[in-house]
Amino acid sequence: MKVNITIDNLTESQAIAVEELLAGWQLISDSNDITVWTGFFCDGKLDWKPKIKFNRRKPQRFMKDIGQRLGRVKMLQRDDLEVYQQMYFVDPYKIEEALKDDDTNKS
């Protein structure tokens, strides 16, 4: 499946961060031996206000039950201080399972 994503209203550093995340995904894909969660920090209280189009429409949330989406992780800061951060997780394998369950229930 091919998707087209456009993102407007980013700061320069946010645009670089998005590109870095996508480059990381490409690196993982090219390596064939890395399995890792990736993350992206969004500050909706400050200046994270992107205008996003997914296949020319506003992105829609996948509202089926895929288990826990919110969590807390301990992040190590530069000064070796550990800080807990809120995280929002999306697991494509959980989504795949939910889609298969839908297909099974339709039979």
pLDDT tens, 45-75? 999 999 999 999 999 998 888 888 889 989 8
The boundaries of the domain holding residue 69 are: 63-107
Beta-ladder partners of 72:
86
With cut-offs at 50, 70 and 90, classify the pLDDT of residue 79.
confident
pLDDT digits (tens, 9 = 90+) for 85-100: 899 989 999 999 999 9
Clarify whether residues 81 and 33 are in a common domain: no
pLDDT digits (tens, 9 = 90+) for 16-37: 999 999 999 999 999 989 999 9
Clarify whether residues 55 and 80 are in a common domain: no
Clarify whether residues 1 and 46 are in a common domain: yes
- Decide if pLDDT at 107 tops 80: no
> Counting every residue, how long is the chain?
107
Alpha-carbon span 22 to 3, nearest angstrom: 14
Alpha-carbon span 59 to 6, nearest angstrom: 11
Clarify whether residues 80 and 53 are in a common domain: no
